[in-house]
């Protein structure tokens, strides 16, 4: 039976490629995001290639939405083996220009959203004494970038939170991996920035290929923290 991977933020960027890479490696894909249309085309593409995939609309800011989606996944697949916390937003603004609602939205999506996701799937993993939570963070978690303080705070918070969780769940054979990519060519960047720097950026596919290697380690091995950077360094 195929292992089941739940990927948040799968409608675009890294999440979109993660779904295709994991499907190719034989996983059953659960692709979720707030927008249905791109999820449908993603799942159709995966199924056309002969793999199993399902799409659900899920808002990581809503515990009700997450719990409802979990129930649908368990009805379809019976379990959840891997969670990939990938859903993420940002605002490239200075600290003083970041308005409280924008700050709240970034923290609520990136930090609180990943907390809610992990808290929802952990009982399944703890019961069967295995599982893997993979978090797509950012080098911003421990590197200084101007005009990204709220985003950096959310990612640094995730790093601290999941390092703490890792220590708590080792006894259940649950793996926690934090992946910190540098500049990656995704819609998170403005069209102008992507046009100017895309040749220096990593592709979502490259980050996804490394992620699948982390997921496919032997049962007794966990790759805990990985920093991935473009060869020419940060932008």
By the 8 A CB rule, do 122 and 85 touch? no
DSSP letter string, 152-208:
HHHHHHHHHHHHHHHHHHGGGTEEEEEEEE-SB-STTS-HHHHHHHTTTSBPHHHHH
Paired tokens of 168: 């708590």
By the 8 A CB rule, do 91 and 152 touch? no
Active site residues: 151
Edge-to-edge order in the sheet of strand 131-136: 53-57, 28-33, 4-7, 82-85, 131-136, 174-181, 225-228
Alpha-carbon distances, residue 74 vs 59, 77, 121, 128, 146 (angstroms): 18, 5, 11, 14, 42
DSSP 27: P
């Amino acid at each position: 039976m195929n292992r089941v991977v739940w990927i948040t933020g799968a409608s675009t960027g890294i999440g979109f490629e993660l779904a295709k890479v994991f499907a190719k490696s034989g996983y059953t894909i659960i692709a979720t995001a707030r927008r249905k249309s791109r999820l449908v085309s993603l799942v159709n593409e995966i199924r056309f290639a002969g793999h199993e995939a399902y799409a659900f609309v899920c808002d990581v800011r809503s515990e009700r939405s997450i719990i409802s989606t979990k129930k649908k996944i368990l009805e379809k697949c019976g379990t959840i083996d891997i969670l990939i916390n990938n859903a993420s937003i940002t605002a490239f603004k200075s600290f003083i220009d970041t308005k409280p609602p924008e700050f709240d939205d970034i923290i609520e999506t990136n930090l609180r959203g990943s907390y809610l996701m992990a808290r929802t799937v952990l009982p399944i993993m703890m019961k069967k004494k295995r599982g893997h939570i993979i978090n797509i963070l950012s080098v911003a978690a421990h590197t200084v970038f101007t005009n990204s303080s709220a985003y950096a705070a959310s990612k640094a918070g995730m790093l601290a939170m999941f390092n703490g969780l890792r220590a708590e769940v080792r006894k259940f054979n649950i793996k926690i991996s934090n992946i910190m990519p540098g500049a990656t060519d995704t819609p998170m960047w403005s069209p102008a920035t992507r046009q100017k720097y895309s040749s220096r950026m990593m592709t979502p596919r490259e980050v996804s290929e490394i992620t699948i290697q982390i997921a496919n380690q032997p049962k007794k091995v966990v790759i805990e923290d990985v920093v991935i950077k473009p060869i020419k360094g940060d932008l």
